Amino acid sequence: MSENRRECLQDEALVLHVKNWQTADKYAVCFTKNNGKLRFIAYGARYVKNVQGRLLQPFACLNIEVQQGQKIDKLRSCELVRMPQGMDVRQMAYGAVMAELVAVLTEDREPQPELYDLLVASLATLVKRNPRLVTLSFAIKLLGLAGFAPNFDHCTCCGEAVTGTAQGWFSPAQGGYVCDKCRTIAEEPLQSCSSGALALWQWLATLDYDNPAPFAVRGGELMEVEHMLYTFIFFQTDKQLNSLNFLNQLGL
Ligand SMILES: [Zn+2]
């Protein structure tokens, strides 16, 4: 296929990740409104006067035009929709977790417009509310949209319905809840899933950023949810997230 017959697409995109490429170029990963995740090279983007290079920065929202290439796509043009919001280091560190989760849990060119809307809304909320809770809520909703939601309705061993009143357990390998009775027959180490942690998970899964339902978040339960969530994601993707290491380094 000749170059000009290859598909060219235009879309609104949120920049997830940018890195330098060869001597003068940049490599970018974006999530688009209508075409899912796109990865491309912006040739010449590292030259000082290059406009694309200046616009291509994490969390910027751009209108992009991307030309499909034989090995990798290339950016033909881009224009600014809106600059990234001003964020402090903590907000940026959590934003990086969101961006990396989208990058690892989605496939190239698989349209997921609901996920695009969720990402835009979550990044906007990050600077207005507790970024740790917003990121957890985003991650839990993302798992649902990506088809990886863990099962908290029934015990993954015996199938009994989860009442949410007793101490329970979580198995990243089984992909969900294990009741106290099945704890002894589980073949791998389980994590604590207290009734409070379960309630917190469910609250985060349906959290309305603009009108959050009242909920008392307790530190221990928050840590249980984070532990379940991030080990489950590690189990699903087999990848250590760089952004989580960065959060740990910041002591967050
Ligand atoms: Zn059971």
Mean pLDDT split into 10-residue runs, the chain, 252 residues: 70 97 96 97 94 94 95 95 93 96 95 97 95 97 95 95 93 94 87 96 96 95 96 92 88 76
**Bridge partners for 21 per DSSP:** 25
Question: Distance from the CA of 224 to the center of ligand 1, in angstroms?
Answer: 20
Q: Where are the alpha helices (DSSP H) in the chain?
A: 51-55, 89-105, 113-126, 131-145, 195-205, 219-237, 242-250
CATH number, span 89-150+176-250: 1.20.1440.120
> In CATH terms, is domain 3-82 a member of 2.30.180.10?
no
pLDDT at residue number 5: 59
Question: Distance from the CA of 195 to the center of ligand 1, in angstroms?
Answer: 15
Question: Distance from the CA of 201 to the center of ligand 1, in angstroms?
Answer: 19
CATH 2.40.50.140 in the chain, residues?
3-82
Question: Distance from the CA of 119 to the center of ligand 1, in angstroms?
Answer: 35
Question: Distance from the CA of 164 to the center of ligand 1, in angstroms?
Answer: 13
CATH 1.20.1440.120 in the chain, residues?
89-150+176-250
17 three-class SS:
strand
Radius of gyration of the chain (CA): 20
Question: Distance from the CA of 182 to the center of ligand 1, in angstroms?
Answer: 4
Question: Distance from the CA of 102 to the center of ligand 1, in angstroms?
Answer: 32
Question: Distance from the CA of 185 to the center of ligand 1, in angstroms?
Answer: 9
pLDDT at residue number 1: 45
Question: Distance from the CA of 114 to the center of ligand 1, in angstroms?
Answer: 34
